[in-house]
C-alpha cells in the first residue's frame, strides 16, 4: 500500500469546511482536484453512505475512469470514499480549532499493479505531492470564498 497524508489549518469554521468537502462534493471536487476532468454523481439525493460517483481523471498524463462510493460519513467531521474494486481509499477529517479548522486528508493506494512496481518510489512521491496539493487547494478555495462573502456583506 502507498499512502499520502497532509494536514492544514483553514481559517474557517469546521462546519463550513465539512459542507464544502462533503455536502457540496459534487460541485467542489473538480475545483480542488483539477486532475478530475469529469465527475458524475450516480446516486440521487444528498451524499450518504453508499452514494456512488464516477470520475474521469488525468494524472501524470494517464487517463483513468473509476467509480467510488462513500464508505464513511460522520457530519460534521469525517467523510471517506473507496474505489469500487478496492484500488484506493480517501479520507477527509475535519477538526474544530477555535474559529478555524484543521483538515486532515489521506489517500491510500491499496495495490500497485505488477507493471508499475518499478515506479513505486515515483508513485509515492506523486501521491504525497497530491495529498499536499489537495489540502492547499481546499484551503485556498474556502478562504477566498469566505473573504468574498465577508466583503459582500460588509
Rounded Cα–Cα distance for residues 92 and 47 (Å): 14
Q: State residue 86 phi and psi, 5-degree precision.
A: 85, 10
pTM above 0.85, yes or no: yes
36 neighbors 58 (Cβ within 8 angstroms): no
Q: CATH no. for residue 111?
A: 3.30.530.20
- State which residues form the domain around 82: 2-35+73-153
Is residue 49 domain-resident?
Answer: no
Cα Rg of the chain (Å, integer): 16
**Residue 42 counted as domain residue:** no
**For every one of its 154 residues, what pLDDT tens digit does the chain have, with 9 covering 90 and above?**
899 999 999 999 999 999 999 999 999 999 999 999 999 999 999 999 999 999 999 987 889 999 999 999 999 999 999 999 989 999 999 999 989 999 999 999 987 877 777 788 888 899 999 999 999 999 999 999 988 877 776 5
Contacts of 125 (CB under 8 A, 6+ apart): none
Amino acid at each position: 500500500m502507498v499512502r499520502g497524508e497532509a494536514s492544514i489549518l483553514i481559517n474557517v469554521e469546521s462546519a463550513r469546511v465539512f459542507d464544502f468537502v462533503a455536502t457540496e462534493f459534487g460541485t467542489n471536487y473538480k475545483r480542488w482536484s483539477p486532475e478530475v476532468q469529469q465527475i458524475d454523481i450516480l446516486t440521487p439525493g444528498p451524499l450518504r453512505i453508499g452514494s456512488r460517483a464516477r470520475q474521469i481523471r488525468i494524472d501524470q498524463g494517464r487517463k483513468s475512469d473509476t467509480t467510488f462510493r462513500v464508505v464513511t460519513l460522520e457530519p460534521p467531521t469525517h467523510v471517506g470514499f473507496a474505489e469500487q474494486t478496492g484500488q484506493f481509499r480517501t479520507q477527509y477529517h475535519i477538526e474544530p480549532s477555535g474559529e478555524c479548522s484543521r483538515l486532515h486528508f489521506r489517500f491510500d493506494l491499496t495495490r500497485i499493479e505488477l507493471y508499475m512496481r518499478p515506479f513505486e518510489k515515483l508513485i509515492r512521491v506523486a501521491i504525497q505531492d497530491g495529498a499536499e496539493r489537495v489540502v492547499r487547494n481546499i484551503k485556498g478555495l474556502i478562504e477566498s470564498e469566505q473573504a468574498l462573502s465577508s466583503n459582500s456583506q460588509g
